[in-house]
Amino acid sequence: MSRIGKKFIPLPAGVNVNMEATRIIVTGPHGQVTVPLAEHAHVSETKEPRQLEVSVDDATHVKQSALWGLTRQLLNNAVTGVQTPFSKALEFVGVGFKVALEGKDTLVMDVGFSHKVRFSVPEGISVTVEKQIVTLRGVDRQLVGEIAAQIRRVKPPEPYKGKGIKYTDEVIRRKAGKAAKTGA
């Protein structure tokens, strides 16, 4: 039995849920999120006046229990995101590392390569740049995390000097460099 799946999802004021056969559309003050439903006949969703409930046919079945918790959490993330958007912050660490916003949706990164790296941010994500910190905001938790990971992948932090693009709350495990030989 899924401990997460059996919890109700409260619907705050201003959040509307439209249930269709293959997807659920959640609309709120900050935007709209579409949650595709699993192609599984045993998971069902019901909408009550101020809450959503996800249920399965057989709670002891392992696959049904996993889909139960997954579906509930995806819906909860959609409801939370349209109410208060999700955000991720990335920090550019290194001498000469720069980042700038060109237009509304293009990040221009100077991260030690022979050329500047241009990254086009998709629709639905808002970007702010303050010195060496880039903040991504959006209503879709998965999309915000994926775009942050793609930006970090341009130049991941290295363990010797810590240079690279890292999450602001990430701790880089540092390695000691080579020790010099003495005497011979």
pLDDT, tens digit, 9 for 90 and up, residues 130-167: 999 999 999 999 999 999 999 999 999 999 998 999 99
- Confidence band of 29 (pLDDT split at 50, 70, 90): very high
Angle at 21 between CA 83 and CA 77, to 5 degrees: 25
**Which residue type is seen at 44?**
S
Mean pLDDT in residue range 94-112:
92
Q: Which domains does the chain have, with CATH numbers?
A: 9-83 (3.90.930.12), 86-167 (3.90.930.12)
The pLDDT of residue 182 is above 80: no
Give pLDDT, residue 128. Answer: 95
Rounded distance between C-alpha atoms, residue 149 and residue 156, angstroms: 10
